[in-house]
Structures are given as C-alpha cells and as structure tokens.
Amino acid sequence: MVIQENIALAPLTTLNVGGPARFFAEAHSEHDVQQAVAYAAARHLPLFVLGGGSNLVIADEGWPGLVLKVALRGVEFEGDREKMLFYAGAGEDWDSLVALAVGKNCAGIECLSGIPGTVGGTPIQNVGAYGQEVSQTITSVRALEIASGAIMELSNADCGFAYRTSKLMRDQYIVLQVAYLLHRNGGPIIEYADLKKFFAAQPLSSPPTLQQARDAVRSIRQSKAMLIVPGDEDCRSAGSFFKNPLVSEAEADRIQALAQKRVPDKPLPRYPGENGKVKLAAAWLVEQSGFYKGYSRGPVGISRKHALAIVNRGGATAKDILALKEEIQHKVFDIWGVSLHPEPVFVGFKET
C-alpha cells in the first residue's frame, strides 16, 4: 500500500469542492485497510474513509490526517430458487450491483437504481429511494473495528438502521463488504408516487418487470438531475442536501394549517413516517421558502431540476456551499418552524 501526500480531494467528489488530504491511501484488500488504520494510529493522524464521494462536503482546508479510499472489489452470490445472497465489496459501484441483481431477476434493490457512490456507503446512511431502503435487504456487514483493528460480521440488528442513518455513522467501523438478501423472480416495488405517475403515463399490458422499474427510476432521477451525467452542471451536487423532516401529527397539522393560509394553491405533501411520526417533503419546504429551482447565489445555487440539490455552478468553495445551506435552513425555520437537517457528511469542518 502506498501513502501519498497532499492529494486533491475535490475531483474525487461529485460536488467538486474542498481542499487536499495531507496523506492519502487507496485500499484494495482488507490487509491494506488494516495497514492504513495502523499507519494513522501510529502517527496520531485523524482518519477519514472515502467511498464514492457522492454524499459529502469537504472543507476548503481539506483533511489534516489520512484519507483512506476503500476500493475493495468483487461480487459473489449464492442461493436457491426463491432467494439469493449477494456479497459485494465495499468499493464496488452501487448502480452496477443493482444492474447485476436486476439482470439476474432478483428483486429488492431495483428502486435504488442510479444512486451514485459505492456499496460501502449504502449501510452507513441506510440509503433509500422510491419506496426502498437497503436495510430491508442487508443481512450482514463485514467491517473493521477501528479501535481494535479486528474484522467482524455485524448483523442487520447490530447496524441499528433508522431513517438515513445507522450505528455505522459513528466512525467506529470501516465497511469492507455488504451482504444483500434478494428475492428471485420477485416483482418490483411500485409504491412511490413518482413511479406510479410514470407507469400511469406509459401504461403497460402487464405489470412492470424489474428492468422496467429500474429504467423508470433512472429516467425519473435524470429528470431531476439526480443521475450523474457528465457535463450537466445540475449534477455537480451531493445529491439531496436535506433529509425529509419527521414531525409529530400535531406539528404536521400546524404546518398544514399555515400552508393553507400562506400558499393555498400548494398543498403540503405529508406521508406516514417511523414511530407514528409524519414525514414532510423537504423539497416543498425549501421551494415555499423562496428557493426555487434554478436559484443562484454566486457560484452556488439550487438545481434547475430538483429543489433539494445544492449545486456547484463552477468555482464554488465549501464556504459558499455552507453559506447557502445555512440561508435555506434559517429561512425554512423562520417561515415554517421546521429544522432541516443535512444529509451529506461534512469533512474537515470545525463546525457544521
């Protein structure tokens, strides 16, 4: 394993902002990961693990310690007529794994098509979209415990999955491999409103296949600039920047009543959430606070296709990104009394 110095990190992210890594290593094996962790520990260097770079904001100062890019590859599978287990290395491209599963007619992750990044990032934030979450299919995560250097198998319960989070976010582990249990010859999940609209507009003679569902999801994501397309400025983002807020029923009723007064022609979208909570649409709150699609604030702005994507229009700094983030959060809270929490990981910042 080679340790490099002063490596630019911005090109390794989809947002394309941030400073360099003081030290940088790329791990292609579990042994490489162990070596990198030991190197950082021996020199008392802060350690950051980098995957696909699709859901993070790196500070302009960069990272003062070691950035470890996990590039463990390989996919294996086993199963019977009804189910199949896919074991994927943390460095595998996520969308390629989804394509492989769909190609083998295995259901469970088809609605997660087109999400940028690597396999290793999916359990950390319990990646989800269009009615599916990876926590519904993950059976185990092979990970290295940073404190001890030991490699262990974490069960689904061990991971502590919740909405867009897990216990793996506590920086105690480095994901090495993830196992997904999928259903052979199963049908796709067509529950999300956008998917229902898509197939209503393009009726089929029979229920959608997994491949048709995958194609539909990728098409919808592209229409919202949530599919990485080279040269498309609106794709220069960290994906959805804010989580959909989870509030109490009473709080949702308060916000809905306020919405009926302020924007009577714009109904508040609300959906059933976890533990009896109500999930509100962060994109609606952002737009109804004055941050329309295409909004610009110098070198940063809002995607022309999706109100939740903060984009780098060219030459933006991390400081610019944070300034717009905070402007949006303050305005949404002032108008609606709702706190928006960011979805990306912030790297190298003293305060976020």
Q: Which residues are marked as active site?
A: 164, 240, 343
Task: Say if CB 34 and CB 143 are below 8 A apart.
Answer: no
Task: Say if CB 346 and CB 352 are below 8 A apart.
Answer: yes
Task: Say if CB 340 and CB 245 are below 8 A apart.
Answer: yes
Output the CA–CA distances (angstroms, integers) from residue 229 to 234, 239, 246, in the order listed.
9, 13, 31
Q: Which of 206, 282, 288 is closest to 247 using CA atoms?
A: 282
Q: Which of 292, 279, 286, 264 is closest to 333 using CA atoms?
A: 286
Q: Go through 213-230 and write b for each residue having 16 or more CB atoms within 10 A of its CB, e for each that does not.
A: bbbbbbebbbebbbbbee
Q: Could you tell me where the DSSP H helices lie in the chain?
A: 30-42, 94-103, 121-124, 156-159, 193-201, 210-223, 249-262, 282-287, 318-336
Task: Say if CB 221 and CB 227 are below 8 A apart.
Answer: yes
Task: Say if CB 145 and CB 152 are below 8 A apart.
Answer: yes
Helices 249-262, 318-336: inter-axial angle, 10-degree rounding: 90
CA distance 184 to 26: 35
Place of tokens 């294996």: 76
Residue 100 structure tokens? 């492989």
SS3 state at 188: coil
